[in-house]
Structure 1
C-alpha cells in the first residue's frame, strides 16, 4: 500500500532538509509522546538507526528504523520494521523558487507475515483518512519550518 502527498514550503530547500534531518528534535518529540527511543549507532545522519518502543492500542510495540537513503538537500528515506510490516518513508526536496521548496512524501507499507497482511488490509480501508492525516502532519511540519529563524535549524 502506498500513500503519497506533496507540500510547498516558503523556505530554501537546504533549510527544509536540515529540519528533516534534525533527528534529535524528532527523538525528543517521540519521547514526549511516551515512546522509548534508543539510537543504535553513533551520530552520523547518513547511517542513523533507532530502536523504538511505544504503546499502541493497548499493546507494547517495537520498531527498528534506519536511514537507507541520504542525499544531502535532496532525499531522505527511512525504513521501519515492526509487527510483520516493512515501511519505507521517503521524502524528496526540490527547489521551486529561490526561497521555496517542494517536499514529495511517500509512505510504502508492505506486509511480511500473515498478521502484517491482515493489518495492511485494514489500513487499505482507512487509506483516505490516513492520507488526510499525512497531509495535516506535513502541513504542520511545513508551518513549523517557516516559523523558525534562518539560523535556528
Structure 2
C-alpha cells in the first residue's frame, strides 16, 4: 500500500535538503508526540547506515519501529527502510530543483504486510485510503509551508 504527496517549496534545493537533514529535530518532534526515539548507530555525519529504534503507542499497544537510512544522495534523495512487527516498508523523500529558488519535494510511504494480522491491518487501511491519503497530503503540505517560512526567515 502506497501513500504519496508532492509539494513545492519556495527555497533552493540545498537549503531544503539541509533542513530535511535535521534528524535531531525530527527526533525531538517525535518525542514531544509521545514516542521514545533512540539512535542506534555510531555515525557522526548524516549518511547511509543511520539507524533508529522508535517506540510508540498505537491502538492501545506499545509498538516498535526500526528505521534505517539506506539511500542518501545529497541534495536529491533520501530513502529509509522501515520495519515493525509484521510490516516492512520504505519511506522516500525526493527533491527536484524547479529553479534557483523553488524545489519540488516528493514523499512516498510504501508498506507491505508480512503476517496475517498485518494483512488485516493493511486491509483496514485500504478501506480508509482516501481519507488517510488526504491526511498524509495535508501533513506534507503543512510541513512544506512551515519549512518554507523557516527558510525565508533565516535567509
1:15, 1:78 → 2: CA distance?
20
- TM-score, normalising length from structure 1? 0.94
Is the alpha carbon distance of 1:87 and 1:15 closer, same or farther for their aligned partners in structure 2, counting shifts above 3 Å?
same
Q: Deviations over 1:6-36 (max 9, x none)?
A: 1100001111111212100000001111111
- Listed as ranges, the gaps of 5+ residues in structure 1 are none
SS at match of 1:148: helix
| Structure 2 residue aligned with 1:76 | 78
5+ unaligned residues in a row in structure 2: which ranges?
A: none
Distance 1:91 1:19 in 2: 12
Total equivalences in the alignment:
153
Kindly indicate whether residue 118 of structure 2 is the aligned counterpart of residue 110 of structure 1: no
Secondary structure of 1:133's counterpart equals helix
Match runs of 1:39-58 below 5 Å: 39-42=39-42, 43-46=44-47, 47-58=49-60
Please state how far the C-alpha of 1:83 moved relative to its aligned partner. Answer: 2.4
The two structures have a TM-score, normalised by structure 2, of: 0.93
Q: How well do the aligned residues superpose, as a CA RMSD in angstroms?
A: 1.6
Secondary structure, in 3 states, of the residue corresponding to 1:116? Answer: helix
